[in-house]
Amino acid sequence: MYYGTSYKSPVGDIFLASDENNIIGLWIGRQKYIDKTMPKDIRENDKLPIIRAGVQWLDDYFAGKNPKLSGLSLAPIGSQFRQEVWKLLLEIPYGELTTYGSISKEVARRMGKERMSAQAVGGAIGHNPISIIIPCHRVVGTNKSLTGYAGGIEKKIKLLKHEGVDMSDLIIPKTGTAL
């Protein structure tokens, strides 16, 4: 059984879900791929300790406190490849950026492969079911483009600004919004 609660945030409505012991999802609004990453049988319950811990993490994050993951057990549902990509996302420090290319090189190294497609990595990042906590918003294109974010480019921009990222050399895709 899965449980969840709604959360009002500066980037919009968030839904936080757990399997009773672990956070399994955090979705911003009706973000892209939500139908593929959100379990169908979620019951509203904001009393579970893991849900309360997730809400506290979000409170701290949006208060600018750079919360740590200790005490917040994560269990995103996905393939071994996606799990490896999501582990790498957790290593990106608060307020810093990396590229899809860098992640693809590191995933290849960790999986003992000669190379890994940045597009495959992009797909795994896009299907990250625990947005914000697993910080996929900190990934940009090699050319510094703010490409791709399942929650929408405008939310990615808000999250990066919230973390104090220098936005001056970042490129917004033509379909994105202004900095």
Q: Catalytic positions, please?
A: 136
CB count within 10 Å of CB 18 equals: 26
In angstroms, the CA 78 to CA 75 distance is 9
| Three-state secondary structure call for residue 9 | strand
CB count within 10 Å of CB 88 equals: 21
Q: Is 134 exposed, middle or buried (0-12, 13-18, 19+ CB in 10 A)?
A: buried
